[in-house]
Amino acid sequence: MAEAKEIQVDEFERIFLSYWEEIYLYLYRMLRDSHEAEDAAQETFLKLYSRPPAANSNYRAWLYKVASREGLNRIRSNNRRTRLISKIKSLWSNEVAPDTTDIVLANAESVEVRDILARMRPQYAQVLLLRHHGLSYDEISKVTGISKNSVGTILVRAEKQFATLLERGEGK
Amino acid sequence: MLDNYRQELWEHVRSCKACFRRLESISQRRQLSASKLLANNSANCSAQQAYRSFVSRVERSKNMEFSEFGRRNPRPVLALVALLVLLPVLVLLTPIRSAAESLLNVMRVEKFTAITIDPSELPFNIPAEKYQQKWNQQMAARFGKYDKADLQKELKEHNIRRVSSVDEASKAYKGPVATIPKQGSPEEIYVSGPESVSFTIDLQKIRAELKEAGIQGVTLPKQLDGKTFTLDVPSAVVMRYGQDDSGFVFVQGESPTLVIPEGVNMDYVRQDILMTPGLPPDLVKQIQSIKDWQHTLVIPVPPGGDSKNVRIGRSEGLLVSDRTGEHNLLLWKHDDRLYAIGGKISSEDAISIARSVVYR
């Protein structure tokens, strides 16, 4: 196995500034909460800082891989979901003013999307998110390790599973 | 050439109703997932601001560097190493062992689960054969050819007393002791503890002990250095049946309790370790799937071995077999006590004996 290298501070800063926004946005789309997304993104870069990948690695792919795992682990956390649901319940009390309805609905949709992603096969959720985040099939292949020829097929399956889970949720 | 292929494909889709419908369906689902996933896309977080925040975080923390040992391939050892070194009777006298490491984060044992680990898939050098040799030597020293004087000294150090009868064991244990009447009298009976052990993680020392055990390439989180864990181990009774390395041991005792020091969040430590590059994904998945991991004793199944849940009275026990099936370990809980039968014994015999235990 190739030795991981020490990462110099100026190089780390360059990587951080280059990729921060896209990693943060990717996690935000997954987690639907700006604070949590920021925290997850910080954790991702912390891992880069403390345990950089082997020399000549593709940093971008590595960051997406770690961010995916970080994000998917978090959305499977029941604690977070419970807190969001509690938050929504409190917003649905009689004190909710009419102009907060949009916020409430947005939060409800966030919970729904997180719930669906948590219930999907991890690989499907990851491919779906990466694709809708704008990564090419080639880039998705580098992040996930799936062969480039299989990415399209898995994407179709992922979208099908997402739609099915969404439909089941709305039918309740 | 690609354009020609695409053109050909599109011509076909236009003319084939089934393919057209399928494409339409895929397109609709794509739009649906895009609408949901890209909604509320108003997040904003400046990279410069985030970097300043990141630097502050690193500077505040003292725990961001990992101490290296051997290769720079971080690996989880942690509480398992400490427990393996310090946890008395229940672990040391159990004949079934695996050379693989496992993540144990047991606060108090309420149940058991097995995980499969293939040492060859681990990213660091764990010379399994060498470790197994050392373990066999230790076992031989305890059950085979050993110097009696040395053994007595070691037993005394760990507060392990040999007693001559079940009644004497009950007195020493300060409580009723379960027995296996159909097996007759045990060859040897030992009572250990109670013992309370506080150990402060000394990464240098652990490194040396791992090296002696032939384990290399391990990196331990620096945040644990200097932290003191307390392991409370209640009394336990060990009965040995059979001669030399044949036969089995029957162990009983209340669960040890591991007290995690303040400032150490084992959830984070566990998650951090599970993120270690190089960890077999299957192993990570197995460990992450353990619900209530703080109360679950994780037993690694030897390569080629097997495990299954078995019913022992009202409890669900765990049976772990080695590759040959000749050595088995059966663990279960009855009321507030943990029990184990292990050794050169078939799985059927282990289960039958466990079900014949008389609890007093």
Using DSSP, state whether B284 is helix, strand or coil: helix
Q: Can you spell out the DSSP letters for chain A? A: -PPBPP--HHHHHHHHHHHHHHHHHHHHHHH--HHHHHHHHHHHHHHHHHS--BTT--HHHHHHHHHHHHHHHHHT-HHHHHHHHHHHHHHTSTT--GGGHHHHHHHHHHHHHHHHHHHS-HHHHHHHHHHHTT--HHHHHHHH---HHHHHHHHHHHHHHHHHHHHHHHT-
A64-103 pLDDT per residue, tens: 999 999 998 888 775 455 555 555 555 555 444 444 555 5
d(CA A6, CA A35): 29
Backbone angles phi, psi at A90, to 5 degrees: -65, -35
Lookup: tokens for A19: 């990729």
In a domain, B50, yes or no: no
Distance from CA of A42 to the nearest CA of B (A): 7
Residue type, B93: L
Selected residue with higher pLDDT from B335 and A171? B335
Instruction: Give yes or no for a contact between B139 and B245, defined as CB atoms under 8 angstroms apart.
Output: yes
Q: Please report the pLDDT score of residue A112 as a whole number.
A: 78
Q: Is the pLDDT of residue B104 over 60?
A: no
In a domain, B36, yes or no: no
Distance from CA of B55 to the nearest CA of A (A): 10
Of A100-109, B109-118, B308-317, where does mean pLDDT reach its minimum? A100-109
For chain B, the domain total comes to 1
A98-140 pLDDT per residue, tens: 445 555 555 666 767 888 888 888 899 999 999 988 889 999 9
Contact B40 A106 (CB under 8 A): yes
Does A37 contact chain B (CB < 8 Å)?
yes
Instruction: Give yes or no for a contact between B314 and B357, defined as CB atoms under 8 angstroms apart.
Output: no
C-beta contacts of B152-156 below 8 A and 24+ residues apart: B155/B190
Domain boundaries, chain A: 1-75
In a domain, B314, yes or no: yes
CB-count exposure of residue A18 (10 Å: 0-12, 13-18, 19+) = middle
B32-48 pLDDT per residue, tens: 888 888 765 555 668 88
The pTM (predicted TM-score) of the whole model is 0.44
Does B277 contact chain A (CB < 8 Å)?
yes
d(CA A62, CA A70): 12
Q: What mean pLDDT is reported for chain B?
A: 71
Q: Where are the beta strands (DSSP E) in B23-149?
A: 66-67, 111-116
Q: Please report the pLDDT score of residue B160 as a whole number.
A: 79
Lookup: tokens for A111: 């919970």
Q: Please report the pLDDT score of residue A68 as a whole number.
A: 92
Complex prediction ipTM: 0.75
d(CA B289, CA B218): 24
Q: Please report the pLDDT score of residue B149 as a whole number.
A: 55
Instruction: Give yes or no for a contact between B122 and B102, defined as CB atoms under 8 angstroms apart.
Output: no
Q: In this complex, how many residue pairs, one in chain A and one in chain B, have their CB atoms less than 8 Å apart?
A: 102
Backbone angles phi, psi at B199, to 5 degrees: -130, 130
Distance from CA of A172 to the nearest CA of B (A): 18
In a domain, B269, yes or no: yes
Q: Please report the pLDDT score of residue A1 as a whole number.
A: 35
d(CA B227, CA B328): 36
Q: Please report the pLDDT score of residue A153 as a whole number.
A: 93
In a domain, B30, yes or no: no
Lookup: tokens for B17: 């109703």
Of A33-47, A59-73, A105-119, B240-254, where does mean pLDDT reach its minimum? A105-119
Element (H, E) at B192: strand B188-192
Q: Please report the pLDDT score of residue B283 as a whole number.
A: 75
Q: Please report the pLDDT score of residue A55 as a whole number.
A: 67
In a domain, B48, yes or no: no
pLDDT bucket at B343, cuts 50 / 70 / 90: confident
**How, if at all, do strands B315-321 and B306-312 pair?**
antiparallel
- Residue at token pair 């078995």: B310
Asked if the A1-75 domain carries CATH number 3.40.50.300, the reply is no
Q: Please report the pLDDT score of residue B208 as a whole number.
A: 77
Nearest Cα neighbor of B91 from B352, B344, B329 is: B329
Selected residue with higher pLDDT from B206 and B75? B206
Instruction: Write out the residue range of the structural domain in which residue B201 sits.
Output: 63-355
| Residues in B touching A106 (Cβ below 8 Å) | 39-40
Contact A163 B48 (CB under 8 A): no
In a domain, B15, yes or no: no
> Which among A1, A17, A166 is the nearest to B47, CB-wise?
A17
Nearest Cα neighbor of A43 from A64, A60, A66 is: A66
Distance from CA of A29 to the nearest CA of B (A): 6
Q: Please report the pLDDT score of residue B79 as a whole number.
A: 34
Selected residue with higher pLDDT from B261 and B80? B261
Does B123 contact chain A (CB < 8 Å)?
yes
In a domain, B58, yes or no: no
d(CA A135, CA A139): 6
B151-183 pLDDT per residue, tens: 556 566 667 788 889 988 888 888 889 999 888
To probe the interface with A, which of B25, B26, B36 has the most A CB atoms within 10 Å? B36
